Amino acid sequence: MLQDHIKFQEYIDKCVKAFEDSTLIKISFVNPYIKSDLLSVNGRSVDLKKGKHLQLVYRHKTKDITKNYPSDQIKIVINQMILEQFSQSVLYTAEADYHFSIFNKSKVKLTTKSASLKSSITNHNRQKNSWINTKDPVWNLLGVCDENGEVYKTKHPKFRQITKYGELIEPHLKAFKKSEKIAIADVGCGKAYLSFALYQKLKDKDIAQDFTGVEIRKDLVEKLNGVCKNLHLENIRFKTGTIEDAQFAKLDILVALHACDTATDDAIKLGIESNAKLIVCSPCCHKQVRKALTTHAMTKNITSHGILKERYAEILTDSIRALVLEAHGYSTKVVEFISTEHTSKNLLIIAEKKKSAKDIDQSIMEEIKVLMKDFGISSHYLVESLGLVDGVANNGRE
Ligand SMILES: C[S@@+](CC[C@H](N)C(=O)[O-])C[C@H]1O[C@@H](n2cnc3c(N)ncnc32)[C@H](O)[C@@H]1O
């Protein structure tokens, strides 16, 4: 029998109220009465299809078990948790933290401390508000989310990246009319997270589309086509093949994220030659230009350190890619899409076709020539593969 039942009731009421008015950030139960492999329980509020629930994660020595409770069961569950299982509980709300404990079997202590957890927006809610609808079953089939649309911890960095890509691409979708069916290709699509995010977004916007993912790995392609079939998704397919060999009768948007080294150049070439209205690529490693840097009096002090040479080559590679796109009538911007804390491969080149440039802008080609000459670049794969080499290559000074 508790000595101060009122305090106990006060704590239970606070928990229920915090859940009901959505100020509950977290609730924890620790210090079990009986030693077992159940160590603690942590809870938070989640929005499920069936409405708001209290989600409790039961932490055992070797496993975690998650259970969701509807609002009418919360009082009973918290009661049981405190009276039968754990002698301490903390309720974290947006306003304050409430520490409740039972000691000497019957004495009760309830203290209020200033709020230690800042945000009342749960991770779940953040995902709900993000660019991607994580509740779409595709994310569960792809292994990104659980069946409640909760992004798996290990997928958080990739998820953040894809969300950011989506946010950066979205303003450029305005250029497409709803009346026209747009042809999109994600080349070197890998597990196709961005493909599906973009496909979903266009579907939400009622923009008719024809989506193709190109990937060299047959196993991935089979899996992705299986997901499409399973969900009866229309106008989306994945093909096994290389970016170099990919061909499209019509291509409006070309996406290539983290295609290795010159595969990014192949993707840009594909976009330019297909006259894509929008080309979005995020370069990966930059080996080709690095190897093509000649020893040069002006730059030798930059290139004498491996890491600086690598960064220098990256900047030169992408500057020339942007210029090549400009020369072909694209308005190009190069942006950093996510903090370097997550990945160092964090540049995004976004090129929107502004002019139906039949002829390549020769003044820009001159600028490329000068840049290559002055910075000692003997060759640039994109420049060469587009046949723009005349007077450009082999200009590096020894
Ligand atoms: C680093 S992953 C990036 C995947 C995805 N685009 C992303 O950003 O999450 C690069 C993918 O491109 C594929 N790939 C590499 N070279 C390729 C090529 N030449 N043609 C087609 N796919 C290629 C790889 O198999 C891999 O799945």
One domain, residues 255 and 135: yes
For residues 20 and 93, the answer to whether their CB atoms sit within 8 Å is no
One domain, residues 105 and 130: no
One domain, residues 349 and 233: yes
Query: Residue 142 maps to which CATH number?
Result: 3.40.50.150
For residue 75, give both structure tokens.
């009082």
Show contacts of 14-21: CB within 8 Å, 24+ apart: 14/91, 14/93, 14/98, 15/74, 15/78, 15/91, 16/74, 16/75, 16/78, 18/91, 18/93, 19/45, 19/52, 19/54, 19/71, 19/74, 20/71
Assigned domain for 26 exists = yes
One domain, residues 164 and 216: yes
For residue 250, give both structure tokens.
């019509």
Instruction: Look at residue 9 in the predicted model and tell me its pLDDT.
Output: 93
Assigned domain for 323 exists = no
Q: What's the domain count of the chain? A: 2
Assigned domain for 295 exists = no
One domain, residues 135 and 154: yes
Assigned domain for 398 exists = no
One domain, residues 266 and 334: yes
Q: Output the residue whose Cα is nearest ligand 1's atom 1.
A: 258
Instruction: Look at residue 118 in the predicted model and tell me its pLDDT.
Output: 61
What digits encode the pLDDT tens for the residues 11-70? Answer: 999 999 998 888 888 999 999 999 899 999 999 888 776 778 899 999 998 888 889 999
One domain, residues 225 and 78: no
Assigned domain for 388 exists = no
Say how many Å lie between the CA of residue 320 and the centre of ligand 1: 22
- Where does a domain end: 122, 153, 182? 122
Distances (CA, A) of 167 to 201, 204, 304: 10, 14, 38
One domain, residues 56 and 189: no
One domain, residues 67 and 196: no
One domain, residues 276 and 346: yes
Mutation choice for ligand 1 from 142, 168, 243, 255, CB with most ligand atoms inside 8 A: 243
Mutation choice for ligand 1 from 240, 260, 337, CB with most ligand atoms inside 8 A: 260
Residues 6+ apart with CB under 8 A from 185: 211, 212, 213, 214, 246, 248, 251, 253, 254, 255, 270
* 217 Cα nearest atom in ligand 1: 25
Tell me which DSSP letter residue 174 carries: T
Assigned domain for 345 exists = yes
What's the pTM? 0.69
Mutation choice for ligand 1 from 258, 281, 282, 342, CB with most ligand atoms inside 8 A: 258
Assigned domain for 392 exists = no
Residue ranges of the chain with per-residue pLDDT less than 50: 119-129, 341, 393-398
Assigned domain for 72 exists = yes
- Where does a domain end: 58, 89, 122? 122
Residue range(s) defining the domain that contains residue 195: 124-285+329-359
One domain, residues 155 and 179: yes
Pairing type for strands 24-32 and 38-48 reads antiparallel
* 244 Cα nearest atom in ligand 1: 19
Task: State the DSSP string of 355-377.
Answer: S--SS--HHHHHHHHHHHHHTTB
Length of the chain: 398
Amino acid at 338: I
Residues with CB under 6 A from ligand 1: 188-190, 193, 214-217, 242-243, 257-260, 263, 284
Bridge partners of residue 185, in order along the sequence: 212, 254
One domain, residues 70 and 218: no
